[in-house]
């Protein structure tokens, strides 16, 4: 439990402070491929021309990732905004655990490897095969396989998900082919390691927020049961399925590798399974499929008795999974907890795709509320269609409810997330991203109008970039082009900073309108607390605004 914040008298407003996280909306580096700049986002641009604003760092070490070459993501971004400080995140923790060998000396690793060594069974790895470092990293997987062989494991099977989202949209073979060669180089008469199944991350296995359990069902059938279209190799599967479907990597159908007419890696009784993704949101559902004694979401057909572990603990409150290899960051004293202790009435809203980000991740990877009476959570169900087909997503419905909450007078602090820039940005469909930005901008205009009406404060910001960098560029800044001359789409997040725009129509000189520079998104937290009339905790990262004494 935390103590109530100290109230100061520097600022009072009739209406609430409204924090809008425009997910995936950064400040672009290149003119060509910047869907944010090219869109007719008239309200966003008007506010950037008329209200105080600055740029904030939203990637790399500014959000707890290993280096500034690492793109930010929604999980670490909302962690940082929610807790006001920077914690070492999944990628950094996993890398350190491998380097120190703490992972391999831990009880869970020893238990899972000993299980298959004693019974001459298979050690399975499931996860995203890329170096995107948002959900996983291929080097982590390689290190674990090398260690498994050294420990005496005889058989390894990898169930590899295609990325095409945190890396290039058609980059899978750049990972799968060298990795297959790596496995061949390790294999000998006493050790057999191969890729056993795969599929696009947005088609199988990696659903989140219970949005589409059919994805998990397809993943279970592919990885566990060995059911699905069969190929002699992952390379042939990827090449063939790309040709047939014209899909980018993240949307490629599932496949199973066979030999002599049989799948080479179904998961059976006595095996061990490691989910090597370290990020929690897209790991919880497949984990439940492996751990739940009874599962109502789909028929597993066969439920093998295995030793299962995740790379990390994906939910610290529910303690999911029951076994994990690396402890996640212990994030405490979040803004929501302080505001509850200070009797601040809070309202959090997004659609399904980002609902967990303004609740679970914002609260330091914590499930549930700090105070049932002071907090209201609202989830608008997302459409289950490809995002490029509904690029406006649910931004209008989110705004309808947010405006109702603002006008109600029942809340002091309202936080909301528009997923458009990120979810549509990941499709790589430029026209759809333009549409998503313009749809969101219409809602920003509605929010501004109601803030004017009630006398509140509106903050527009983001957790990371994406829609601002939709084309691949070379080292010289030129757009990479396909054989037909069209730009090569980029589906990954950007390394660009994000905006922080402060719209305060009742401003009365309480603070300097010259905002502080060179800060990260973790500084949003202290800023919100101060605008609510409190002093931020002394160890929070500094506020973006400078209050006059």
Q: Could you list the active site residues?
A: 74
* DSSP-derived secondary structure letter, 263: E
CA 199 to chain centre: 19
Smallest CA-to-CA distance from 433 within 399, 467, 482 is with 467
Q: Which residues contact 31 (CB under 8 A, 6 or more apart)?
A: 37
Q: Which residues contact 528 (CB under 8 A, 6 or more apart)?
A: 17, 19, 335, 413, 459
Q: Which residues contact 319 (CB under 8 A, 6 or more apart)?
A: 313
Alpha carbons within 13 A on the beta-carbon side of 358:
31
Distance CA 61, CA 70 (A): 8
Torsion angle (degrees, nearest 10) of CA 356, 360, 362, 365: -130
* DSSP-derived secondary structure letter, 435: H
Task: State the residue for tokens 């020893």.
Answer: 110
Residues β-bridged to residue 457 = 17
Query: At 54, which helix (H) or strand (E)?
Result: strand 53-57
Cβ–Cβ contacts within 10 Å for residue 378, how many? 18
Distance CA 163, CA 168 (A): 8
Buried b (16+ CB within 10 A) or exposed e, 328-343: bbebebbbbbbbbbbe
Distance CA 130, CA 172 (A): 8
Two tokens, residue 132: 């995107």
Specify burial of residue 117 (Cβ count, 10 A radius: 0-12, 13-18, 19+). middle
- Interhelix angle 523-531/74-83, nearest 10 degrees: 40
Distance CA 528, CA 419 (A): 21
Cβ–Cβ contacts within 10 Å for residue 15, how many? 22
Smallest CA-to-CA distance from 222 within 265, 285, 251, 191 is with 265
Two tokens, residue 95: 């890398």
Cα dihedral 220, 224, 229, 234 sign: positive
């Amino acid at each position: 439990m935390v103590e109530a914040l100290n109230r100061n008298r520097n600022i009072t407003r009739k209406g609430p402070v409204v924090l809008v996280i425009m997910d995936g909306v950064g400040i672009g580096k290149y003119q060509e491929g910047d869907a944010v700049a090219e869109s007719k986002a008239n309200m966003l641009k008007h506010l950037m021309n008329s209200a105080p604003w600055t740029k904030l760092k939203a990637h790399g070490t500014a959000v707890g990732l290993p280096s500034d070459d690492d793109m930010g993501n929604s999980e670490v971004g909302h962690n940082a905004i929610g807790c006001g400080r920077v914690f070492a995140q999944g990628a950094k923790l996993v890398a350190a655990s491998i380097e120190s060998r703490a992972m391999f000396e831990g009880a869970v690793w020893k238990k899972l490897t000993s299980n298959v060594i004693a019974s001459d069974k298979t050690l399975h790895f499931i996860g995203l095969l890329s170096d995107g470092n948002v959900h996983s990293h291929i080097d982590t997987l390689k290190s674990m396989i090398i260690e498994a062989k050294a420990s005496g494991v005889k058989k390894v099977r990898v169930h590899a998900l295609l990325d095409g989202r945190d890396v290039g949209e058609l980059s899978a073979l750049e990972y799968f082919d060298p990795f297959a060669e790596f496995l061949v180089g390790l294999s000998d008469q006493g050790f057999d390691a191969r890729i056993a199944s795969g599929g696009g991350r947005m088609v199988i296995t990696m659903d989140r927020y219970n949005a589409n359990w059919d994805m998990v069902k397809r993943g279970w059938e592919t990885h566990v049961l060995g059911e699905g279209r069969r190929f002699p190799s992952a390379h042939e599967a990827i090449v063939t399925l790309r040709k047939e479907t014209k899909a980018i990597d993240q949307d490629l159908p599932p496949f199973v590798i066979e030999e002599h007419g049989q799948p080479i890696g179904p998961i059976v009784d006595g095996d061990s399974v490691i989910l090597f993704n370290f990020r929690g949101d897209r790991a919880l559902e497949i984990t439940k499929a492996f751990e739940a004694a009874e599962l109502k979401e789909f028929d597993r057909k066969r439920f093998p008795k295995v030793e299962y572990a995740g790379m990390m603990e994906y939910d610290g409150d529910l303690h999911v999974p029951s076994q994990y290899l690396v402890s996640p960051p212990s994030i405490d004293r979040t803004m929501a907890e302080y505001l509850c202790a200070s009797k601040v009435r809070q309202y959090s809203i997004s659609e399904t795709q980002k609902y967990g980000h303004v609740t679970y991740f914002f609260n330091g990877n914590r499930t549930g509320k700090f105070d049932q009476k002071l907090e209201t959570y609202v989830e608008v169900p997302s459409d289950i269609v490809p995002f490029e087909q509904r690029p406006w997503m649910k931004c209008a419905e989110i705004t309808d409810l947010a405006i109702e909450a603002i006008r109600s007078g029942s809340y002091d602090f309202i936080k909301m997330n528009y997923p458009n820039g990120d979810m549509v940005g990941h499709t790589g469909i430029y026209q759809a991203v333009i549409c998503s930005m313009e749809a969101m901008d219409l809602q920003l205009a509605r929010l501004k109008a109601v803030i004017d009406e009630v006398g509140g404060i509106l903050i527009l910001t983001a957790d990371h970039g994406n829609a601002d960098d939709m084309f691949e560029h070379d080292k010289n800044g030129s757009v990479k082009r396909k054989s037909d001359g069209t730009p090569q789409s980029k589906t990954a997040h950007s390394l660009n900073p994000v905006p922080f725009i402060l719209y305060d129509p009742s401003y009365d000189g309480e603070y300097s309108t010259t905002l502080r520079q060179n800060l990260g998104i973790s500084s949003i937290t202290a800023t919100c607390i101060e605008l609510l009339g409190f002093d931020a905790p002394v160890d929070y990262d500094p506020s973006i605004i400078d209050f006059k004494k």
